[in-house]
Amino acid sequence: MATIQSLLDSADLPDSPTAQLDAELLLAHALGKSRSYLRTWPEREPDATQQAAFTAMLARRRSGEPVAYILGHQGFWSLELEVAPHTLIPRPDTELLVETALQLAPATPLQVLDLGTGSGAIALALASERGGWKVTGVDRIAEAVELAERNRQRLGLSNADFRLSSWFASLAGERFGLIVSNPPYIAASDRHLGEGDVRFEPQSALVAGADGLDDIRQIVSQAPQHLQPGGWLLLEHGYDQAEAVRELLRAAGFHMTESRRDLGGHERISLGQWPA
């Protein structure tokens, strides 16, 4: 019978840039243990069922399927979230959106909106940090709303709720002190859509017209009708779109427009304040 160490040593993931990490995450999942268990007990021998599960997951990863979809969960901020193929996988870069929102908006009671919530990652991260905020997440995909609600219930966050809405379509008359969004922002012709994990993620959550800005244009143009005076709009976007997004914000009447850089040094989010 193979040991934990021999299974890891023989795991063959030549196309993954994180092959060792992938193998450890998959084997730990097959065993129902943590990654630290693998390092503590490398000589232990998984049973045949566990080995077969690990082999099957390795095959899925070799085909290019993201580890998060194989495991069914992904860490984001301080939370562990259920994920599924009808939503984007939460990424570390998006934590900048959460961090900036927490810096800009007061910890006092606030109505907050997360547009295109997907798994609920942004909304739930904000709700977990600000108990006095009421955070609403919307998505046009019913399965995404259901997934976000499952995450909310599992995390026990009573100050968040999720609804079905295509951007602002179901929010007539509602206003918020803070609106955040990680909308689709990839150009339809972008070659990266056919590479890596992105191949398995929903294209509708990635692509936004010829220049990648169609959804951001819609959000910026409609947000003023749903912002309270002095409210903020924060948008994640592509690494080369910051100048264009800032110009859209200024043209729509936003003040205090600026962009913030992610850990890679790219201008990853842009924001503006609606006049008080």
Per-residue pLDDT at 193: 46
Give pLDDT tens digits for 170-216.
Answer: 999 999 999 999 997 665 555 554 455 555 555 555 555 556 788 99
Q: How far apart are CA 251 and CA 245, in angstroms?
A: 10
Q: How far apart are CA 110 and CA 268, in angstroms?
A: 25
Q: How far apart are CA 97 and CA 271, in angstroms?
A: 10
Q: How far apart are CA 40 and CA 181, in angstroms?
A: 41
Listing DSSP states for 147-162 in one string gives HHHHHHHHHT-TTEEE
Looking at 1.10.3470, 1.10.287, 1.20.1290, 1.10.8, the CATH number of the domain 4-63 comes to 1.10.8
Domain boundaries, the chain: 4-63, 86-273
The per-residue pLDDT string of the chain (276 residues; one tens digit each, 9 = 90 and over) reads: 799 999 998 888 888 888 899 999 999 999 999 999 999 999 999 999 999 999 999 999 998 888 999 999 999 999 999 999 888 889 889 999 999 999 999 889 999 999 999 999 999 999 999 999 999 999 999 999 999 999 999 999 999 999 999 999 999 999 999 999 999 766 555 555 445 555 555 555 555 555 678 899 999 999 999 999 999 999 999 888 999 999 999 999 999 999 999 988 999 999 999 998
Contact 66, 197 (CB under 8 A): yes
Q: How far apart are CA 235 and CA 193, in angstroms?
A: 21
Q: Which residue has the tokens 């063959």?
A: 12
Q: What is the pTM of this model?
A: 0.88
> 106 CB contacts (<8 Å, ≥6 apart)?
none
**Superfamily of domain 86-273 in the CATH hierarchy:** Vaccinia Virus protein VP39 (3.40.50.150)
Tell me how crowded residue 108 is: count the other CB atoms within 10 A of its CB.
9
Angle at 165 between CA 160 and CA 168, to 5 degrees: 95
Say which amino acid occupies 210.
A
Per-residue pLDDT at 212: 72
The reply to whether domains 4-63 and 86-273 share a CATH topology is no
